[in-house]
Amino acid sequence: MKLTYFEFPGRAGPIRIALGIGKIAFEDERFAYADWPNLKGEMPLGAVPVLDVQGTRLCQSNAILRYAGRLSGLYPDDLLEAAKCDQMLDTIEEILSRIVDTMMMEGEEQKAARDGLCEGPLPFFLDAMQTMVGTDDKPYVAGGKLSVADLKLANFVGMLSSGQLDYVPTDFVERNAPGLAAHAAHIGSLPQVAAQTA
């Protein structure tokens, strides 16, 4: 199988980690952002990530992530726990799409858009996501154990805290949703996750 995405983690980061944890062999095809205009027309929906499996090309990051999770034992079998996992994946995509809308903006336009996100939607979504994470003794989204929802959430928190998003303070998550910051630190410290990100 072959996973195609940009050089940075982005939406493919959790997929790469899930496949790595499951020891699922895959070709990790990464390309530079400058090459995207030449590749976009070849991709379903004009977007990545894309996963090629046995002659089938899969798109939509959450669909690919769930598939990787099932292969790797990181997606719940229990229907209710699976729904909790999906709830987190879809919530992240909902707010992430608003952030992505600001990516092509520049200068004052981007500052105004991101300030607007930081003043309203982002704290709202972070607070909601914080309630979806388990207790201190089982700090996971679903089933009391690691799932792809934890990987995606930690990846999202890492993106917000990276300093790569202009006008989003690096301590924004820590100040607005300390439980999510703690969750991301916990997930990143797990040996099976750390081994994939080293």
Domains and CATH numbers, the chain: 2-72 (3.40.30.10), 79-197 (1.20.1050.10)
Residue environment code for 69-107, b if the CB has 16+ CB neighbours within 10 A, otherwise e:
bbbbebbbeeeebbebbbbbbebbbebbeebeebeeeee
Which residue stretches of the chain are H helix? 13-21, 36-39, 61-72, 79-100, 107-119, 121-130, 148-161, 172-176, 178-189, 191-197
pTM of the model: 0.95
Q: Output the pLDDT for position 162.
A: 95
Predicted confidence (pLDDT) per residue in 126-169, tens digit: 999 999 998 777 899 999 999 999 999 999 999 999 999 999 99
Q: Is the pLDDT of residue 198 over 90?
A: no
Q: Output the pLDDT for position 137.
A: 79
Closest CA to 81 of 144, 143, 140: 143
Tell me the C-alpha distance between 193 and 198, whole Å. Answer: 9
